[in-house]
Amino acid sequence: MVHCLKLIWRVSSFGPSLWVQWIHCYLIRKGSFWSIKGSASSGSWVWRKLLKLRDIAKPFLKKEIRSGKQTSFWYDQWSKHGNLKEKIGDRGVIDLGISENATVAEALGRRSRRRRHRLSILNEVEEELNALRSSACQEDDITLWRQADDNFATKFSSKRTWEQIRGNHHTCTWSKGVWFPQSTPKYSFFLWLALRGRLQTLDRMQQWITGLDTTCVLCNDTQESCSHLFFECRYSEQVWKTLVGGMMHEGYSADWNELVEIISKPWLNPTMTFLIRYTL
Closest to 156 measured CA to CA, from 17, 9, 1 = 9
145, β-bridge pairs:
61, 153
Question: Is the confidence at residue 41, as pLDDT, over 80?
Answer: no
Question: Is the confidence at residue 43, as pLDDT, over 90?
Answer: no
Q: Supply the pLDDT for residue 97.
A: 83
pLDDT band at 275 (very low <50, low <70, confident <90, very high): very high
Q: What is the pLDDT of residues 197-249, one digit of tens each?
A: 899 999 999 999 989 999 999 999 899 999 899 888 999 999 999 999 998 88
Q: What is the pLDDT of residues 65-110, one digit of tens each?
A: 998 898 999 999 999 888 888 888 888 888 888 888 888 988 888 7
Report the mean per-residue pLDDT for the chain: 88
Rounded-to-integer distance, Cα 196 and Cα 205, Å: 16
Q: What is the pLDDT of residues 142-158, one digit of tens each?
A: 999 999 888 999 999 99
Q: What is the pLDDT of residues 159-173, one digit of tens each?
A: 999 988 887 778 888
Q: What is the pLDDT of residues 175-211, one digit of tens each?
A: 999 999 999 999 999 999 999 989 999 999 999 998 9
Question: Is the confidence at residue 259, as pLDDT, over 80?
Answer: yes
pLDDT band at 136 (very low <50, low <70, confident <90, very high): confident
Rounded-to-integer distance, Cα 260 and Cα 243, Å: 17
Amino acid, res. 172 = C
Q: Supply the pLDDT for residue 206.
A: 92
Render the burial of 1-25: b for 16+ CB within 10 Å, e for the rest: eeeebbbbbbbbbbeeeeebeebbe
Percentage of the chain exceeding pLDDT 70: 97
Q: Supply the pLDDT for residue 112.
A: 59
Closest to 60 measured CA to CA, from 39, 71, 76, 80 = 76
Q: Supply the pLDDT for residue 113.
A: 61
Q: What is the pLDDT of residues 21-40, one digit of tens each?
A: 999 998 888 888 998 887 65
pLDDT band at 53 (very low <50, low <70, confident <90, very high): very high
Question: Is the confidence at residue 17, as pLDDT, over 80?
Answer: yes
Q: What is the pLDDT of residues 103-120, one digit of tens each?
A: 898 888 876 566 678 888
CA 267 to chain centre: 35
